A and B are shown apart, each in its own frame.
Chain A
Amino acid sequence: MKNNDILQKIKNKFPDLSLEETPHGLVIPKTALLDVAGFLKIEMDFENCHCVTAVDRRDKLELIYLLYSTSHHFMLTLKTFVTLDDLTVETLSGLWRSADWLEREVYDLFGIKFQNHPDLRRIMNPDDWTDFPLRKNFTRADFIPRPQSTGLKGPNS
């Protein structure tokens, strides 16, 4: 089982979908996330939502689902991009129950709003907080970003 095979199968199922294959996973538009994920779970045996996370790419957020199939021995990295002006995306917690908490964590740290999530509350940070700490532009009065080193000169350069 390769990324390629899965890509082909998804293409056959959803002919008018703009798919992109990168070395680090499949990128699909966020509107198709629920459909593709459902297809992967039911017809491709990806019975395990291993991990959900996000990366701040500054102009947009990259949402990453790591799906695992025991029968195929294959881990699929499913990615989608969420723009900062529209942070909503359909939840996958109806498909995999592990996605419930993992999506809450992503909401807590990045502020991506999962629609139709059963219990979308902050999971680690205080409920009355409005910041999203893992965004790159996160600042606090008492938070001093570490100066970025510029070369291999030594610890004090």
Chain B
Amino acid sequence: MGELLTVNMGPQHPSTHGVLYLELKMDGEIVVDCKPHLGYLHRSIEKIAENRTYTQFIPFTDRLDYLASMNNNLGYCLAVEKLLNIAVPDRAQYLRVIIAELNRAVSHLVAIGTFAQDLGAYATPLFYAFRDREKIVDLFDSICGGRLTYNYMRIGGVSADIPARTEQIIKDFIAYERKQLIEYNELLTYNVIFLARSKNIGILSKEVARSYSVTGPMLRASGIKWDIRKEEPYSMYDKFDFDVPVGANGDSWDRFKVRLDEISQSLRIVEQAIGGIPEGNPVSKVNRVFRGTGEAYVRTENPRGELGFYLVAEGGFNPTRCKIRSPSFSNLGALSELVKGLNISDAVCVLGSMDIVMGEIDR
């Protein structure tokens, strides 16, 4: 082995998904050692939480995993509701599930698009994904007035009822997206070059995945059938019928495929929920400020894995501590083990298949 070449990949690099900085030691094209450095997007959101009331913190959760803001809102609101024992109207529960699942679908679309981009399919899959995402972003815009940071969920409900035509728009989207998924399968999933680049690359075994506390599609791609929505149903998930897609090998292609399958499962959930929304007012009459004591930990299935909120309250209007257990943080921990000995192109492929969002890693 000759002299090792140190390549500083990031914080500004086209494929590190934000501001991740990887310190790569390379022997020619082979990655010998990989050391991730975090913190370039650290905004100390956990400290901010200690200086805001419970309600005021909801917009900050949007900034964690900015591709799945609705899911973050949901997780935080569930944690506060558990801490303070607040009941949620049925209509709000249904709306939350529908919106969280739609957000999961479009978040996975972005993940698929960027993964294909990392494999060198210039921009086209990304534009296709964003074209579909645009429909849902427009829908969310009409629901809550935001296109990226939604701030829609409220403690004890949602901020407003949905506009009248929403149900029809969602039904149209489901029919449209099912057609599109078939096209994506034809374009990408079984493309020869795509298979050659992602099959058997970055294999994550079950034991390693568990040891690193990997969650979400990454864990399921390794063959572990584990989904909080099934295992410990929160909100209304126990009322809906859906499958948990799992992969066979735990390689990059499996992670991609699991995400693609999860989109259709999300659409299934939305389809079931949209038919059964009960009448009523989803905006609950809860105070804007609360006092609380105790501790609560709630984890929800985010698009990237299990998002947990650990809230500690000591009687004030603000939480004493709000720990955010972000899925990408734990998932990224497995990176340096996965990329050792791979080609640099494969390292990019593995990183892309992990689908990290730096917003929730650095917080």
Chain A interface residues (CB < 8 Å from chain B)? 23-24, 47-51, 53, 55-56, 64, 66, 70, 73, 75, 77, 96-98, 100-102, 105, 109, 122-126, 133-134, 138, 145-146, 148-149, 152
Report B278-300 residues with CB < 8 Å from chain A CB.
Answer: 287, 289, 294-295, 297, 299
**23 examples of A-B residue contacts, CB within 8 angstroms:** A23-B294, A48-B210, A50-B325, A51-B213, A51-B308, A51-B310, A51-B323, A53-B321, A53-B323, A55-B312, A66-B297, A66-B308, A70-B226, A73-B231, A98-B212, A123-B38, A123-B39, A124-B362, A125-B39, A148-B316, A148-B318, A149-B53, A152-B289
Q: Kindly list chain B residues whose C-beta atoms are within 8 Å of the C-beta of A134.
A: 46-47, 50, 321
Beta-carbon nearest neighbor of B330 in chain A: A98
Name the distance in Å between A19's Cβ and chain B's nearest Cβ: 18
Report B9-55 residues with CB < 8 Å from chain A CB.
Answer: 38-39, 42, 44, 46-47, 50-53
Question: Known contacts being A146-B52, A152-B289, is A50 close to B47, with CB within 8 Å?
Answer: no
Chain B interface residues (CB < 8 Å from chain A)? 38-39, 42, 44, 46-47, 50-53, 208, 210-213, 226, 231-232, 287, 289, 294-295, 297, 299, 306, 308, 310, 312, 316-318, 320-321, 323, 325, 329-330, 332-334, 362-363
Query: Do A101 and B329 touch across chains, with their CB atoms under 8 A apart?
Result: yes
Query: Do B46 and A109 touch across chains, with their CB atoms under 8 A apart?
Result: yes
Beta-carbon nearest neighbor of B224 in chain A: A70
Query: Do B213 and A96 touch across chains, with their CB atoms under 8 A apart?
Result: yes
Query: Do A48 and B47 touch across chains, with their CB atoms under 8 A apart?
Result: no
Chain A interface secondary structure, helix, strand, loop or mixed? loop
Query: Do A47 and B44 touch across chains, with their CB atoms under 8 A apart?
Result: no
Q: How many Å lie between the Cα of A73 and that of B306 in the bound state?
A: 15
Beta-carbon nearest neighbor of A146 in chain B: B51
Question: Known contacts being A50-B308, A51-B325, A124-B38, is A148 close to B317, with CB within 8 Å?
Answer: yes
Q: How many Å lie between the Cα of A55 and that of B312 in the bound state?
A: 8
> Which of B39, B226, B332 is packed against the most chain A CB atoms within 10 Å?
B39
Name the distance in Å between B84's Cβ and chain A's nearest Cβ: 15
Question: Known contacts being A49-B213, A98-B213, A124-B38, is A145 close to B325, with CB within 8 Å?
Answer: no
Q: How many Å lie between the Cα of A123 and that of B333 in the bound state?
A: 12
Q: How many Å lie between the Cα of A73 and that of B50 in the bound state?
A: 31
Name the distance in Å between B166's Cβ and chain A's nearest Cβ: 32
Q: Kindly list chain B residues whose C-beta atoms are within 8 Å of the C-beta of A152.
A: 287, 289
Q: How many Å lie between the Cα of A37 and that of B260 in the bound state?
A: 38
Q: Kindly list chain A residues whose C-beta atoms are within 8 Å of the C-beta of B310.
A: 51, 53, 64, 66
Beta-carbon nearest neighbor of B289 in chain A: A152
Q: How many Å lie between the Cα of A56 and that of B297 in the bound state?
A: 17
Query: Do B317 and A133 touch across chains, with their CB atoms under 8 A apart?
Result: no
> Which of B53, B211, B231, B362 is packed against the most chain A CB atoms within 10 Å?
B211
